[in-house]
Amino acid sequence: MTTFDVFRPTLSRRLFLAGGALALTGIGIRATKANAVIGKAVEITGEVTRRQENLLEGLKAGASLMDHDFVTTGRESFAELALGDDTSLLLGSETELLIDTFIAGQGGTIELGTGQMVFDRPEGLAKIDLTMRTAFGMIGVRGTKFFAGPNRGVFAVFVEHGRVEVTGGGVMASVGRGEGVEIKRPGEAPGKVTQWGEARIREAYASVGIR
């Protein structure tokens, strides 16, 4: 059991819907057609499942992703998902992610229940309006690459490039290139923004299968 497991909440859909949001500022979102194909599974390692309404099935590389897909990775399992042509989500082991809605080039809503992930959108692209909900707070993101999830006993956010605004407990912290911030428990304010060392960056990325 990791240190994070000591206080990690059991996240029901209701809990992490109420918990907060990671918001990417940009243009507005239009409603999408139900069951629209919005991406695909690029690489799957180990046991990864996808639930769509009442259908639960294994997720394989090359499979299409649709709005309302709930993706879960098993122990020592990883998933690389592509949303649209230029947005990637890398999921670590024992991670739960709901793709609520997504429109390529515009944004949408995703919800990180448990586990860790890396959001990767290359620099220089137009901003999108994406909301990512977690139990730990709200992060406003502009097209960027960042890690979010448990690391060294806390919920942590690290930005490789771009800038994010991490809000929790009514306090906002601005996190830029090479910086990270921690939130110890749901509802608490983020701690001091610090420069992350190479060892911690490698450790965080390894948790989502990046070596």
Contacts 24+ apart (CB under 8 A), 192-199: 196/158
Residue type, 75: R
Element at 45 (helix H, strand E): strand 37-45
Does the domain made of 4-32+96-206 have the CATH classification 2.60.40?
no
Per residue in 110-161, pLDDT (tens digit) is: 899 999 999 998 888 887 777 788 899 877 776 789 999 999 999 999 999 9
What is this structure's pTM? 0.81
What average pLDDT does the segment 75-98 reach? 95
pLDDT of residue 63: 96
pLDDT at residue 35, as a whole number: 63
Residues 187 and 169: their CA atoms lie apart, in Å, by 5
pLDDT in tens, 156-207: 999 999 888 888 999 999 999 999 999 999 999 999 999 999 999 999 999 9
- The domain spans of the chain are 4-32+96-206
- H-helix segments, 48-192: none
CA-nearest of 66, 58, 61, 25 to 42 is 61
Return the ∠ at Cα 110 (arms to 46 and 133), rounded to 5°. 110
- Return the ∠ at Cα 54 (arms to 49 and 59), rounded to 5°: 20
| β-strand partners of 132 | 22, 110
